Amino acid sequence: MKAIDQTRASAGTPSEPLLALSYAAIGYATCFDNALAITAQRMKKTITSSRTSAKLGMGRNGQGGYALAIDLYVEVCGLPKAEARKLVETTHRVCPYSDAVRSNADVRLHVTVARS
């Protein structure tokens, strides 16, 4: 699947889909980061900060239509890597955006741990 660069239009790519993908990426990242904080509280995990960004791509699927591919980059501060990964995976199960795209988009989670 060919990803569309959200920062600039290429030849033959109208700017409207790029703008829509940009807004969707911002919305997803914001929603996920807020859900992460709530999920951490519910799991009784103390994180000092987090940062989430999303990269969305759109391309043809095998049925002649279009499909989304999403990469979520989540940086967690205050937890060991394994606990941060579990927190992100749990958040992915409860985040409203994740729920909305479940079974409709390929979502890949990328977790990093930052020092306090």
pLDDT, tens only, 2-21: 444 444 444 555 667 667 77
* Phi, psi for residue 79 in degrees, rounded to 5: -130, 150
Which residues on adjacent β-strands are paired with residue 53? 73
Residue 58 lies in a domain: yes
Residue 73 lies in a domain: yes
Residue 19's pLDDT is 73
Residue 9 lies in a domain: no
> What is the CATH number for 65?
3.30.300.20
Residue 68 lies in a domain: yes
pLDDT, tens only, 23-33: 889 999 999 99
Exposure string (b/e) for 9-30, b if CB count within 10 Å is 16 or more? eeeeeeeeebeebeebbeebbe
pTM score over 0.85: no
Question: Would you say residue 112 has pLDDT above 50?
Answer: yes
Residue 3 lies in a domain: no
Residue 110 lies in a domain: yes
Question: Would you say residue 116 has pLDDT above 90?
Answer: no
pLDDT more than 70, % of the chain: 84
**Alpha-carbon span 97 to 75, nearest angstrom:** 18
Determine the structural domain holding residue 60 and report its residue range: 31-114
Taking CA atoms, 6 is separated from 10, 47, 66, 86, in Å, by: 10, 30, 16, 29
Residue 97 lies in a domain: yes
What is the tally of structural domains in the chain? 1
pLDDT, tens only, 70-107: 999 999 999 999 999 999 999 999 999 999 998 888 89
Helices (H), 3-80: 15-42
Residue 14's pLDDT is 60
**Alpha-carbon span 52 to 29, nearest angstrom:** 5
Residue 15 lies in a domain: no
